[in-house]
Structure 1
Amino acid sequence: MPSSIDLSGRTALVTGGAQGLGEGMARALAAAGASVVIADLRDDQGAAVAAAIGGHFVHLDVTNELSWQAAIAVAVETGGLDIVVNNAGIEISSLILDLEPDDVRRMLEVNVLGTALGIKHAFRAMRPEGPAGQGGVVINVASVAATIAFPAIAGYSATKSAVDRLTRVAAMESGKLGLGVRVNCIYPGLVPTEMGAGLANDMAELGLYPSPTDAVAAVVELTPSGRLGTIEDMADAVVFLASDHAKFVNGVGLPVDGGMGM
């Protein structure tokens, strides 16, 4: 994280913050001085991360309206709400030939509806007449999958493309309504988290690559930077977008993929 970024006095809520990218983003925001609320279904893991960074934990099902209302209330009570990171998401690999409707519905619920509700409740809290009332920043986590044609992730790619569109429409609505909230998204490349490793294993099991190692090598081959992404790479981008360094960055998708999606 760039040492020049200071988020002191700001409160951030990070969904899916109990592990993986979300945990890294929460830790980076806290290191920059923000008060962080971890929002996740994993109560024990989430509470442990919150304790480690001096933050707070709230149970959140991103697909549930009442759960969002409760989580936002907790964040506001801790000192307001300035930053919402809609990171929670799931990926279920499948060839289109074998696509299961229930799997697609689940990804739509978590990745698209969950993000849409996050934007909705961030707007309601941050708008001038809201309980936080100071404007703020929403950062949605899309994926390089929204910009490339990679096999066996059609459903996931579709949902992450939707996150990109939600981001841009939300930014326009915020401006038109005078809400004072910037809305951006990032496109992470493949990161060796639990989800990233699972994707590599899926590619091998589906017969698309001889092994998970070969699947990872194929991703690296497509990446001009010549490596996988790291959690820190993604967290640095979130801290930047949350900061005043990005005060005129609005309604965009920021690739953090080493050039894979160019």
Structure 2
Amino acid sequence: MDLLNSDECIFIPSKNSKRDLIFLHGYTSSNSFPDRVKNFFIKQHQFNIIACNSRGHGKRKNRNYENKEQVKQTVNEYTELIQERLKNGYEVNVIGNSMGASMALTLGNNIPEINKVFVIAGLNGKNMFDVPLSVKKKYEILFQKKEQDVFKPDILEAMPYNSNKCNKQNKKKYYFIHSLNDGVVPIHNMVQNMQELCLITNNEKNIIDNGYKIDTNENLLVLDTNSNIRNILSHVMPNFRNDVIQFINKNLK
């Protein structure tokens, strides 16, 4: 399938630009994910904007997304799209939210030529609820049954996941955005992913595990927790807070 030229994709080219910014939406979202910020990134960086409906989303809702094979096919579609853009000399940058963030990590690992990967409230299916008891206790209020209800087991099992590769280029490639109020599962996944990529120290990990914000890691934006971030950020990322936009903008230069 030629995904880019299908009616499942929004493609906004910038005149004479060889830089792409691809948005991968979260579960139940659609290719409207970048609506609030697309003009900003076009103006700031002259990006070509690409946003497609993953299988089971948008106009493709007649497809069963809660299926490993459908997820695999979706990742394959994005892989083909990105490889074709790279082949034609385009720089490719990816922003993924939640389900789309797990795809972004997988694509970043599988396609080394991707320039930047932004992981917003990222999840993966690797031992999704195998969270250490000590961490659960520190987030006791957040780790409730409703969180397990939100993350359906069949969805989690289908989540793409490749063990992240640790190399010196990662500091210029991968960037993570999370809130301490976003739930213990996404936070623990974020720490796991950053550890595998060698982007977080043990001291920073311990600070986050104890429920505190850190400002020392250039590859991580931990959002403040003095408001109901769960409603602002958690898998409803089309709202795009200003600090998130500025973090992404700074690291796209």
* TM-score (structure 2 length as normaliser): 0.42
- From the two aligned structures, give the one with the greater helix fraction: 1
